Amino acid sequence: MHVAVALIKAGQRVATIDLDNKQKSLTHYVENRRDWARETSLDLGIPAHMCFETVSGRSSEVETLGRSALAEIVERLGRSYDFVVIDCPGHDTYLTTFTHSLANTLITPLNDSFLDFDVLGTVDPNDFKVTGISHYSKMVEEARRERSAHDQPAFEWVVLRNRLSMLGSRNKRLVGEALSELAKTLNFRMVDGLAERVIFREFYPRGLTAIDDVSQLALGGRPTMSHVTARLEIAHVACHRTAREGAADDRHHARPSCGAPAGILRRQPRRGVRRRQAANGNWRCRRRRRSGT
């Protein structure tokens, strides 16, 4: 959802497809956003959305019909919209590999643990060095071969580290090292993504994202520093993508700003407190001593 809204905010025409017709998380997210926009009378920016209903059954004929129907929908949307964002289910279906083969960019969010790393690769329990690739990575490789067989350029694969600890830890370092090693084998780009923040879970009932305006009307309550920090994290991820595209393309295009988003809050020191910058660049607060008492 953050990807779709970021593209809309950048002036792109966006359509979204939800392939998980059982859980329908993306579908419900869009519906919540539409309802909240109606209640607040705000133009939040809502993608054109559809939930793809898969045909029941697992015969070869059914699978062929399903692939053809999805390909036709993507092609039709591609003529009217600049981007089509497809949300795949967490489980494997006959459409999963096919959908991956349709992508120009594949984004794989990965929680920062070896439990989730296991879907990409395996590690040695003694030194945590990568020893092989797992089922999801093999499926991505199959999708790449399918694109190559149809003379289509390879898609870009981005592995986005998710729910990162805000404190340094041995696990965080080891997972990062393993991902860096695996990236050389599987040719994906690793991006440090979003920290573990409760605020991201609070966005869902209203269909909001960290990219939306930080205002009391839009949020339905008083903005906090958690909103600001989450928005800066999303901006950092967007800048990482923009910087890479800018380095690969010498043409002059309008690109989203990587600076602080407009309308963010800036925490001010409390009254009677002065701020002092320490040698490490962090800010410390000391309460002023009141003279004469």
The 10s digit of each residue's pLDDT in 148-173 is: 888 888 889 999 888 777 777 888 89
CB 17, CB 84: distance < 8 Å: yes
Total structural domains within the chain: 1
pLDDT for position 3: 87
Kindly state whether residue 54 falls inside one of the protein's structural domains: yes
Strands 283-287 and 273-277: antiparallel
Domain that includes residue 38, residue range: 2-250+261-287
> What would the two tokens of residue 117 be?
């790393």
> What would the two tokens of residue 233 be?
């994290």
> What would the two tokens of residue 105 be?
């960019």
Query: Rounded distance, CA 132 to CA 256, Å?
Result: 38
Kindly state whether residue 292 falls inside one of the protein's structural domains: no
pLDDT for position 90: 77
pLDDT for position 227: 77
pLDDT tens digit sequence for 20-76: 888 899 999 999 999 999 998 989 999 999 998 876 666 788 888 888 999 999 999
Residues 6+ apart with CB under 8 A from 206: 32, 33, 36, 219, 220
CB 54, CB 93: distance < 8 Å: yes
pLDDT tens digit sequence for 69-105: 999 999 999 999 999 999 988 777 788 888 999 999 9
Query: Rounded distance, CA 202 to CA 195, Å?
Result: 15
- Alpha helices per DSSP H over the chain: 2-9, 25-40, 60-80, 96-102, 114-117, 135-149, 170-186, 199-203, 216-219, 225-248
Kindly state whether residue 293 falls inside one of the protein's structural domains: no
CB 7, CB 83: distance < 8 Å: yes
Kindly state whether residue 255 falls inside one of the protein's structural domains: no
Q: What is the pTM of this model?
A: 0.74
pLDDT for position 2: 87
Kindly state whether residue 154 falls inside one of the protein's structural domains: yes
Mean pLDDT, the chain, integer = 78
Task: Tell me the CATH number at 119.
Answer: 3.40.50.300
Among 157, 184, 186, 173, residue whose Cα is nearest residue 244: 157
Kindly state whether residue 256 falls inside one of the protein's structural domains: no
**Which of 13-27, 125-139, 147-161, 247-261 has the lowest average pLDDT?**
247-261
Q: Packing angle between helix 170-186 and helix 135-149, nearest 10 degrees?
A: 30
Kindly state whether residue 86 falls inside one of the protein's structural domains: yes
- The structure tokens 């607060």 sit at 285
Q: What is the largest CA-CA distance in the chain?
A: 89
* 137 pLDDT higher than 90: yes
Under the banding of pLDDT at 50, 70 and 90, the label for residue 250 is very low
Kindly state whether residue 130 falls inside one of the protein's structural domains: yes
Give the long-range contacts of residues 111-117, CB within 8 A, separation 24 or more.
111/162, 111/163, 112/161, 112/162, 112/163, 112/164, 112/165, 112/171, 112/172, 112/175, 113/171, 113/175, 114/171, 114/174, 114/175, 114/178, 117/175, 117/178, 117/179
3-state SS, 146-197, equals HHHHCCCCCCEEEEEEEEECCCCCHHHHHHHHHHHHHHHHHCCEEEEEEECC
